[in-house]
Structure 1
Amino acid sequence: MGVDSFRPRVQGIIIPVARAMAGMGITPNASSIIAFLAAAGAGVAFYFSMPLLGVLGVMLNAFFDAMDGAIAREAGTASMRGDYLDHVLDRYADIVIICGIFIGPLASAPEGILALTGVLMSSYMGTQAQAVGVGRFYGGILGRADRLLLLIVFGILAAFVPAGILGYGFLAWLLLIFGVLGHVTAWQRFRHTWNELKK
């Protein structure tokens, strides 16, 4: 969906905030950990059918996840370990949020399993491209920033229209979207890497 394409346009906001956070002593790893804790809180909130609180957790996760790399660059402390920690915690964040939605009453297991596999496989394909020497690739129809934006929008809709559409709650629909578009994204990334390996 391309939310990541807007990142350069908000650098004028991100950089001063990251600089201020670095000045306050907040490290990139601390920002990554706070982002994960916010995601865990969102998962718990969704599990207990509190979508607006879940949305708040997702928003905090998105903010601190955007800040960790920016803080590292501003503080001159960017490292492979930090990058690795960020990616591991991002995957766990995806898991706890999605599980919170479908283990609770907001969606069912089939939608949740489809969403989990789609999200994890699309993320895996992005990093596996780097593992085989092509370079990290996060193209495709549904990136992580897109998922976070959709979580916010659908979470708000779930709070104000709990009946959903056609007997499906909005967060159940969202997991279906994550599943289908996640696997489409995984295929797009696989195809890109496959084609690059031919060269």
Structure 2
Amino acid sequence: MTLDQYRSHAKVYIDPLVTIAIRCRLTPNFFTLAALAASAVAGILFYLRLELWGVLAVAVNAFCDAMDGAVAREMKCQSKRGDFLDHAVDRYADIFIITGIFAGGLVPWQIGVFALTGVLMASYLGTQAQAVGVGRYYGGLLGRADRLVMIMVVGIIDMLVPLSFYGLSLLGWMLVLFGVFGYITSFQRFAYVWRTVE
């Protein structure tokens, strides 16, 4: 994964927003639940083929997803319960957004299911590493931040320049990559944990 490695570089832009959020008494859980709502709205908008609004809802999801952890760290109120909620919401967000894209007919459902299972398996193995005592592992080719940025960028390009290659739109090929990279990432994470645990 690439973008998750640059979270620290985004701190300079996020910190002023975190300060404002804390002054407004917005909690980390507020942003986590707002991210969930935004992802559900994004899924519905993609299902209705309102791609521009779907992309904007994904952007709101990405923003809230970045803010919940940043606010928790600044307020020094990180907890296992909050971490659990955050990861559960992230998985639902993946399901809502990807399902919305293929359920509305923007992409064949077979490719959508392939992408969704790849994404969920990669995420599952990342957190399962923590369950067996290795610690959460985010290694691999494709992380959640990468996926969100790809959805926004490809979604906009697909609207402006609707191209088709071998019967698939740009969104379709994006989900193919989600599936392929998701399963590669799953294998990378499995191999890492297998080598690490006794």
Shared fold (TM-score, shorter chain, > 0.5): yes
Per-residue CA deviations over 1:8-39 (Å, capped at 9, x if unaligned) read 11111112211210110111001001011111
1:111 aligns with 2:115: no
Q: Contact (CA 8 Å) 1:14, 1:67: kept in 2 or not?
A: yes
SS class of match (1:134): coil
Give the residue type in structure 2 aligned to 1:131: A
Post-superposition shift, 1:161? Answer: 2.4
The aligned counterpart of 2:7 is: 7
Post-superposition shift, 1:102? Answer: 0.6
Whole-Å separation in 2 of the counterparts to 1:96 and 1:45 = 10
Tell me the TM-score normalised to structure 1 length.
Answer: 0.96
Q: Contact (CA 8 Å) 1:50, 1:159: kept in 2 or not?
A: no
Whole-Å separation in 1 of the counterparts to 2:121 and 2:109 = 18
Whole-Å separation in 2 of the counterparts to 1:6 and 1:74 = 18
Post-superposition shift, 1:165? Answer: 2.6
The aligned counterpart of 2:191 is: 191
Post-superposition shift, 1:95? Answer: 0.0
Post-superposition shift, 1:109? Answer: 1.2
- Structure 2 segments unaligned to the other structure (5+ residues): none
The aligned counterpart of 2:93 is: 93
The aligned counterpart of 1:69 is: 69
Per-residue CA deviations over 1:141-173 (Å, capped at 9, x if unaligned) read 000011011101111122112343332111111
The aligned counterpart of 2:154 is: 154
Whole-Å separation in 2 of the counterparts to 1:136 and 1:68 = 18
Tell me the TM-score normalised to structure 2 length.
Answer: 0.97
Q: Within 5 A, what are the aligned runs for 1:18-167? A: 18-167=18-167
Give the residue type in structure 2 aligned to 1:154: V
Whole-Å separation in 1 of the counterparts to 2:193 and 2:153 = 32
Q: Name the Cα RMSD after superposition.
A: 1.1
Whole-Å separation in 2 of the counterparts to 1:162 and 1:46 = 15
Whole-Å separation in 2 of the counterparts to 1:163 and 1:17 = 37
Whole-Å separation in 1 of the counterparts to 2:103 and 2:162 = 17
Q: Contact (CA 8 Å) 1:118, 1:178: kept in 2 or not?
A: yes
Give the residue type in structure 1 aligned to 2:167: G
SS class of match (2:165): coil
Extract structure 1 runs of 4+ deviating beyond 4 A: none
